[in-house]
Amino acid sequence: MAAEAPRRCPAAREHRLDRRSFVRYDATQRPLASVLQATLLTKHLLVVGASLTDDNVIRLVHEVATLYEDHDRKRTMGTLLTLERQELTAKLWAPEFTTVPLGPPGPAGESRDEAAARIANAGRSLEILLDRVAALAAQDSVHHLLDRRYEDLFAEDANDEQAAAEQLREAASLIRGFLPGSARAAEWEQVLTHLESWGARPPRL
């Protein structure tokens, strides 16, 4: 029987790096790279769900770190959340990033099922943490107060608050109806702008 030639997977693609590839990187990705570097320079970056192993990311972070070193400054630019303790990653990214594991390292002799359960528990801890961060970030914001998508955030016994929110959404809808022909359109438009900024926006079609 003749040997059958190996079949290529239809979805398989050949990846070749040529001079055009490197030129296209600066043309297509440089704006995003600039946003990342600006964030590293001016804020504290929280990295979630990324291993920071991409060569381009490593280069961009190194450029910012070098800039600080050139001015005799060292600064922790961000925090990297991982699902388990990774000593090598922590050492490689210090002092630019503080590595915070959400779970313990795998013990010696750990089975595949045990490892999967440990990672799943760490993933759940990460979800709880991010929910907490989002809640704290929204404490001083009312942009979601009238948004129907966030009605579950009302307390179970806050019937009066929910009724008030519904009335304000109806008021916004009423304003949209008479606004085009109103003699005081400019004033009512300001009222509508505030209501929509609090979440009373028209439903998307």
According to DSSP, the residues that pair with 82 across neighbouring strands are: 101
* Dist. CA 91–CA 121, nearest whole Å: 24
Higher pLDDT, 31 or 48: 48
Both structure tokens of 98: 């503080």
pLDDT tens, 189-199? 999 999 998 99
Q: Would the pLDDT of 4 be above 90?
A: no
Q: What is the pLDDT of residue 11?
A: 46
Q: What is the pLDDT of residue 21?
A: 57
Output b/e per residue, 182-205; b: 16+ Cβ within 10 A. eeeeeebeeebeebbebbbeeeee
Q: Would the pLDDT of 41 be above 60?
A: yes
Q: What is the pLDDT of residue 145?
A: 87
Q: In Å, what is the CA distance from 172 to each residue of 129, 158, 189, 195? A: 35, 21, 10, 6
pLDDT tens, 152-186? 888 889 999 999 999 999 999 999 999 999 999 99
Q: What is the pLDDT of residue 120?
A: 93
* Dist. CA 125–CA 64, nearest whole Å: 31
Residue 77, burial from CB neighbour count under 10 angstroms (0-12, 13-18, 19+): buried
* Dist. CA 8–CA 5, nearest whole Å: 9
